[in-house]
Amino acid sequence: MFRLALVHLIDSSLCALLSAIARLVDAPAKPTHWLHIIRAPATSRANTAFRHGGYVFLLRATARGLAVTAACTLAAISATTLQAQVSWVSAPISAVHYDVTADSASVGSRKLGVAMTFRTASTKPVVLALPAWSPGHYTLLWFARRVSNFTAESNGSPLEWHMLDYQTWEIIPRAPGEIRVSFKYLADTIDRAVAWTKPNFSFFNGTNLFMYPAGRSLEWGASVTVHTEPSWRVATGMTPSTQPNTFSATRYHDLVDMPFFVGRFAIDSTNVQNHWIRLAMYPDSVMTPALRTRFLGWVDRFVPAEMAVFRDVEFRNYTIFFVADTIVNAGGLEHQNSQMDEIPLARLQDTPASLFSHEFFHSWNVKRLRPADMVPYRYSDAQPTRWLWVSEGITDYYANVALVRGGITDSTGFYNAIAAYIMAADHAGAVSLSDASLSVWVNPANSMSGIYYPKGGLAGFLLDIMIRDASNNSNSLDTVMRTLYNTTYKHGKGFTSSNWWSEVSRASGGKSFDEFRRRYIDGREPMPVDAVLALAGLRVVRDGANGRVRVTETPNASAKAVMVREGILHGDGSSGPRRQP
Ligand SMILES: [Zn+2]
């Protein structure tokens, strides 16, 4: 897809134009400077405009300069070798505050009120954008499509504004000072990445509502005030301030990763190793004593097993947001200090513990330890990676590991989860985990769709066994996850392919995994399940008639294989607590 980068044209003379084109020729690797385009007052008679590929080009020049500009622009558009990224650049802004109105009237109309106030130090245009997606939910949802009644003002007087594209607004300040932007946000969709309302309740993500200055660093802090009914609750992972219903975050990435419940909902908590884990449930009637005891009881047992993998917990407290309603696409969405889970009301009693343990493990794996392709998050468009088999598949593996190490399931339950992985991989056929990871953004209509979950989980299990076998159980996949967390995330980086495979090899005493990667991760060969499971005293029993698979312990397995198996099930000295009797 061809896109254009727009840069303000300071001087529209032919000389400046030729200079800009010269820079294009000289530095094709920096395409954001390839063409200067004028932004001029719409009332100027010297302006002209044309459209191409969904973008508007405003040109101001002498007649000759305009003709040359247009000719060169069209020539450049037709050049298939040019690739560039939309790169709006906003004037700097500061003192950012958001107000969200989620009172009875707002949720009754299913439209949240949103206001953003900030300061600007000049009259240069401010360019604000809304995200196209929510991290973890790898689908372009274009949150701007739900915006209406957009206004911009300063000192009570309206400011000129217009849209630069479908998710970007440009505001023209009259003078330095405070600007207030406001709009309504349609919150009618029950989806963990989107905003939703009921007559007494609202759920929203920061990605839905909070605009950011385009083309600028996202390392700035902001505060949020929620305006709601006096008797309604507000819950979020953001840091509360001394002002009522007001919260703060120090980076935009945090601001949009801490969703809100506002309204009537039930909330309770448990303390695990000095961290409060809250359970917030909507509607409040679903938090029966029995369900509360079951859910928080699971939390008490799987959380220590997951903490033990990384031995580092950065969140002060953690919130499990839970909605039970008419939900088609049940599941959860991870955040750095919370998770948002959705279950059909009719299946409430079938809620699996692995839903909670999966999303909880994400607070390390993907929210913090993350592929370099996704560091930092880029909100304006898709951000593909070949590593969802680690970020999702290995998270799912550890969701099951934590349940057996915490004593929530027994070894048979764990083997059944592995058998389900094997069956899913068999059923998918010859597909590559790397390709499946990359393709999530187009939701492929083939067997790659979502296969990085079960087949990635299976890859994690095989790697865990092979590392333990090669290191005489002194290292494990836990070692790899913990080491990469410390050597990449803790140094402000994502992990690369080289980081990953080097660490797997190092944990295995130098054993090469090149062939494993080539054949089973990037390649499409069936995984060597039987051979690897034998190293853990396990075997795969296949029922040829219906494709069913069982995983069972091998009688008379070697002492080493039993040690590997026990290390996975119980956690060893380096990886987790012993299973409860
Ligand atoms: Zn996940």
Stated pTM of the model: 0.85
Short-list 439, 432, 403, 430, CA closest to 418? 403
Ligand 1 centroid vs 232 CA: distance in angstroms? 31
Q: Are residues 74 and 125 in the same domain?
A: no
Q: Which amino acid is located at 393 in the chain?
A: G
Looking at residue 427, what is its pLDDT? 95
| Domain termination residue (choose one: 218, 242, 263) | 263
Structural domain contains residue 355: no
- Give the model confidence (pLDDT) of 523-548 as tens digits: 999 999 999 999 999 999 998 778 89
Instruction: Tell me the C-alpha to C-alpha distance, in Å, between residue 462 and each of 418, 459, 495, 527.
Output: 10, 5, 20, 9
Residue 152 in any domain: the answer is yes
Nearest to 336 by CA among 310, 313, 353, 354: 313
Residues 203, 66, single domain; the answer is no
Query: Are 380 and 462 contained in the same domain?
Result: yes
Are 196 and 242 in a shared domain?
Answer: yes
Average pLDDT, integer, range 405-419: 98
Distance 417 CA to ligand 1 centre (A): 16
Measured in Å, residue 401 CA sits from the centre of ligand 1 at 15
User: What does 374-414 look like in DSSP terms, one character per residue?
Assistant: GSS---SS----S-HIIIIIIHHHHHHHHHHHTTSS-HHHH
Q: What CATH number has the domain bearing residue 336?
A: 3.30.2010
Are 549 and 457 within one domain?
yes
Centre of ligand 1 to C-alpha 144, Å, is 25
Distance 357 CA to ligand 1 centre (A): 10
Q: What is the CATH number of the domain that holds 430?
A: 1.10.390.10
* C-alpha of residue 423 to centroid of ligand 1, in Å: 20
Say if 580 falls within a structural domain.
no
CA of 465 to the centre of ligand 1 (A): 22
Task: Convert the pLDDT of each residue in 211-248 to its tens digit.
Answer: 999 999 999 999 999 999 999 999 999 999 999 999 99
CA distance 252 to 497: 28
Ligand 1 centre from 392 Cα, in Å?
5
Give the distance (Å) from ligand 1 centre to CA of residue 395: 7
Domain match, 259 and 277 both: no
- Token pair belonging to 344: 């059909």
Residue 527: both structure tokens together:
């995984």
Instruction: Compute, in angstroms, the gap from residue 140 CA to the centroid of ligand 1.
Output: 17
Distance linking the first and last C-alpha atoms of the chain: 58
CA of 475 to the centre of ligand 1 (A): 25
Q: What is the per-residue pLDDT across 373-407, written as a single tens digit (0 to 9) for each? A: 999 999 999 999 999 999 999 999 999 999 999 99
Q: What's the CA-to-centroid distance between 333 and ligand 1, angstroms?
A: 7
* Domain end among 78, 106, 124: 78
Asked whether residue 172 falls in the same domain as residue 222, the answer is yes
How many Å lie between the centroid of ligand 1 and the Cα of residue 391? Answer: 7
282 is written with which tokens?
């909507």
Q: Report residue 293 as tokens.
A: 């005891």
- Domain shared by 427 and 484, yes or no: yes
Look at 106-115, 184-193, 274-283, 537-546 and tell me which has the smallest mean pLDDT: 537-546
Quick one: pLDDT at residue 86?
Answer: 58
Q: Is residue 358 part of a domain?
A: no
Q: Quick one: 341 and 204 in the same domain?
A: no
Bridging pattern class, strands 93-101 and 222-227: parallel
Query: Strand 538-543 and strand 331-334: pairing?
Result: unpaired
Q: Is there a domain that residue 309 lies in?
A: yes
In this predicted structure, which of 107-121, 258-272, 347-361, 532-546 has the lowest mean pLDDT? 532-546
Q: Are residues 451 and 526 in the same domain?
A: yes
For position 53, what pLDDT does the model report?
36
What letter represents residue 13's amino acid? Answer: S
Could you tell me the pLDDT band of residue 572, with boundaries at 50, 70 and 90? low
Q: Are residues 561 and 429 both part of a single domain? A: yes
Distance 458 CA to ligand 1 centre (A): 15
Q: How remote is the CA of residue 136 from the centroid of ligand 1, in Å?
A: 7
List the domain range (segments joined by +) for residue 163: 93-263
Ligand 1 centre to CA of 221 (Å) is 27
> In angstroms, what is the span from residue 320 Cα to ligand 1's centroid?
14
Of 19, 50, 78, the residue at which a domain comes to its end is 78
Greatest CA separation for the chain? 90
H-type alpha helices, 196-318: 206-209, 252-255, 289-310
Residue 67 has pLDDT above 70, yes or no: no
| Extended strands (E) in 175-259 | 177-186, 196-198, 201-204, 212-213, 222-227, 233-236, 239-240, 246-249
pLDDT of residue 173: 98
Distance 560 CA to ligand 1 centre (A): 33
- How close is the Cα of 248 to the center of ligand 1, in Å? 26
Do 460 and 514 share a domain, yes or no?
A: yes
Calculate how far, in angstroms, residue 516's C-alpha sits from the geometric centre of ligand 1. 24
In the chain, how many domains are there?
A: 4
How many angstroms does the Cα of residue 137 sit away from the middle of ligand 1?
9
pLDDT in tens, 12-57: 333 344 444 434 433 333 333 333 343 433 333 333 444 333 333 4
Task: Flag whether 72 is in a domain.
Answer: yes
CA of 148 to the centre of ligand 1 (A): 32
Is 365 a domain residue? no
**Which residue in 198, 333, 190 sits closest to 263, CA to CA?**
198
User: CA-CA distance, 510 to 503, in Å (whole number)?
Assistant: 9
Single-letter code of the amino acid located at 107? V
